[in-house]
Amino acid sequence: MRFVSCRLMSPAVSDLSPDPGEIATLVALRRDLHAHPELGFEEVRTSAIVKTFLAECGLDVQAGIGGTGVVGTLRGRAGGPSIALRADMDALAMPETAERPHRSTIPGRMHACGHDGHTAMLLGAARALARRNDLAGTVHFVFQPAEEGRGGAQAMVEDGLFERFQIDRFYGLHNMPGIPVGRMAVVPGAQLASSDRWHVTFRGVGTHGGKPHLGRDPIVAAGQFLTSLQTVVSRGTDPIQTAVVSACAIQAGDFEALNVIPDDIRIGGTARAYSHAVRDRLEAEIGRVADGIASANGIAADYAFHRQMPPVVNDDDATVRATNAALAALGEENVITAFPPSTAGDDFAIFSSRVPGAYVWLGNGPAQDGALHHNGHYDFNDDALAHGIRFWTTLVAQELRAI
């Protein structure tokens, strides 16, 4: 893939950079959000702050979308595209174990994924862009609730996000420890895996443990299933593709009744893939193996595959646009175009599977004390704020044909 350098047609980077006073204000805001973390769909305080901030910038604000979601809309001249930028607002149900001035004030709640930083950066970008009068098109600043497994993106979609707002392209950004501050990774293709749950229940006929021939043993079937399950990836998936299938829970019988073969055994697990085709294949193959094992044992199998989150797969055209913005904002030497995908998930995928989208990684610097995402010592790096804002403002300026 070739990327067009925008250096020659871009204004000086400093023209798109927030001034130090504005950065200090946003750092204070970010730390205030960090000190007051809220779980998914409970972001009442956070979304009120976001709503007020956007309104004071002069944007059209619609709150309460999908629960606590907020969208601020900036309209430029007619004729340009309509794009959306996403920040997530929620925290995690875990204690903050680090001592720091802006430590969480709420027991058992923590911003351990840097969503406080995402929110502050997108607000900073909104304020910078609201001051401009050279944009052609529309930008929607989307503040999403409940990214951490509670279905905030889906809730916004079900509340009419795509009917209420024209969105041609959707962009998401996440901080990444290990990438130096001032650098970004913008990579085509798969970024994050799908994340789905599956359940199998083998229904046999319970009997006396000493007389197995009088029943149909579901435990033996479960043992065969767990070993055969490994072939779903090793034999049933294209070796060039990546997939994960794990059994993570199993339940049957009673340790107080070790002379009883139970009627049923229940198994559950996770399935992950980086493409829609492999995801479909995993759903079919796990069920096929369960049915086959059940049939061989003369019992029944109930199978359910619960689709939770699609993979995040960057659209080629949107990736080129994001790359060009990163090149102009941070300089060629600071843009990484090859970076391994993660087996974590992000429900930004719900947005980017409806319209073309790109999801980019912003450097958060070295992992402090070895703390990565979802660790009790993790913190968003305030030094990254200005870089993230410059990326967002450059992307909008390029998309809305101001430069």
Which residues bind to Zn ion, rule: CB under 5 A?
113
The amino acid that residue 167 corresponds to is I
Nearer to Zn ion, 117 or 204 (CB): 117
Of 113 and 358, CB closest to Zn ion: 113
Question: Are residues 347 and 151 in contact, defined by beta-carbon separation less than 8 angstroms?
Answer: yes
In the bound complex, what is the minimum distance in angstroms from residue 51's beta carbon to Zn ion? 22
Closest CB to Zn ion among 40 and 218?
A: 40
Give the Cα separation of 326 and 360 in Å (integer). 9
Closest CA to 399 of 84, 86, 58: 84
Name which of 113 and 389 has its Cβ closer to Zn ion: 113
CA distance 12 to 277: 43
Q: Minimum distance from CB of 358 to Zn ion (Å)? A: 17
Shortest reach from residue 374's CB to Zn ion, in Å: 6
Q: How far is the CB of 114 from Zn ion (least distance, A)?
A: 6
Task: Between 116 and 285, name the residue whose CB sits nearer to Zn ion.
Answer: 116
Report in angstroms how near the CB of residue 198 gets to Zn ion at its nearest. Answer: 22
Q: Contact, 203 vs 336, CB < 8 A?
A: no
Give residue number: closest CB to Zn ion. Answer: 113
* Strand partners of residue 358: 171
Give the residue among 344, 389, 382 at the shortest CA–CA distance from 194.
344
SS3 245: strand
Shortest distance, CB of residue 147 to Zn ion, whole angstroms?
Answer: 6
Cβ proximity to Zn ion: between 50 and 113 the closer is 113
**Residue 342: both structure tokens together:** 């993660």
Residues constituting the chain: 403
Cα 294 to Cα 3: distance, rounded to the nearest angstrom: 53
113/265 with CB nearer Zn ion: 113
Contact criterion met (CB below 8 Å) for 219 and 263: no
Instruction: Pick the closer one to Zn ion by CB: 113 or 179.
Output: 113
DSSP one-letter string for 184-208 = EE--SEEEE--EEEEEEEEE-B-EE
Among residues 89 and 113, whose Cβ is nearest to Zn ion? 113
Q: Please, what is the minimum distance in Å from the beta carbon of residue 388 to Zn ion?
A: 14
3 state DSSP class of 136: strand
Contact 208, 214 (CB under 8 A): yes
* Cβ closest to Zn ion, residue 113 vs residue 156: 113
317: exposed, middle or buried (Cβ count in 10 Å: 0-12, 13-18, 19+): exposed
In the complex, least distance from residue 113 CB atom to Zn ion, rounded to whole angstroms = 3
**Main-chain phi, psi angles of 192, to 5 degrees:** -140, 150
Cα–Cα distance, 340 to 76 (Å, whole number)? 37
129 by Cβ neighbours in 10 Å (0-12 / 13-18 / 19+) ranks as: buried
State in angstroms the smallest separation of the CB of 309 from Zn ion: 12
In whole angstroms, how close is the CB of 115 to Zn ion at the nearest point?
Answer: 6
Angle between helices 115-130 and 44-56 (to 10 degrees): 20
